[in-house]
Structure 1
Amino acid sequence: MKQTAFLSAIIAATLAAPAAMAMNPQPDPQNPEGFVVTRAEVQAAEVAKTHDPMYTTWAQALRTRTNDIVEAIVPGAASNPENVKRVERVFPEADWDFLTQMAAPEYTYTRFLRAIGKFPAFCGEYTDGRDSDAICKKSIVTAFAHFAQETGGHIAIDNYWDNPQGLEEWQQALVHVREMGWSEGQEGYTTGCGQNDWQNKRWPCAAGQGYFGRGAKQLSYHFNYGAFSEVMYAGDATKLLNEPGLVADSWLNLASAIWFFLTPQAPKPAMLHVIDRTWVPSQRELDAGIGYGFGTTINIINGGIECGEQNKDKGQPVNRIRYWEGLAKHFNIPIEADETNTCWQQLPYGSLNLQGATDVLYTNWDGNWKYFADRPGGYSFECELVGYQTAYSALVEGDYEKCVTNFYESHAGWPAVRVVDVIDTNPGDGSNPGDGGTPTNTWDKDAVYLTGDRVTVNGVTYEAKYWNQGVNPETAGQWGAWKVVSGDTTGGNTPTNPDTGSGNGTDTGTDTGTDTGTGGDTGGTGGDTGTTNPDTGTNPDQGETTWNATTVYLGGDQVLVNGVTYEALYWNQGNNPVSGAQWGPWKKI
Structure 2
Amino acid sequence: MIQARTLLNPFKNVPFLAAFAMTLLLALISVIFAEQASAHGYIESPKSRVYKCNQLININCGDAQYNHNNLETTKGFPASGPADGQIPSAGWTSYSALNAQSTTRWDKTTMNGGPNTFTWYLTNPHATTDWKYYITKPGWNPNQPLKRSDLELFCTYTDGGTTPPKNVSHTCDVPTDRSGYHIILGTWDVYNTTNAFYQVIDVNLINNGTGPQLPSVPGNITSIIQTLNSITLNWSASTSSSGISYYEVFRNGSLVGSPAQPSFVDTGLQANTSYTYTIKAVDNNGNKSAASAPAAFSTNNGGGTTAPAWSASQVYLAGNKVTYNGVVYEAQWWTQGDTPGTAAVWKKVV
Name which one, 1 or 2, has greater alpha-carbon Rg: 2
TM value normalised by structure 1: 0.20
> Which of the pair is proportionally richer in strand?
2
> Which of the pair is proportionally richer in helix?
1
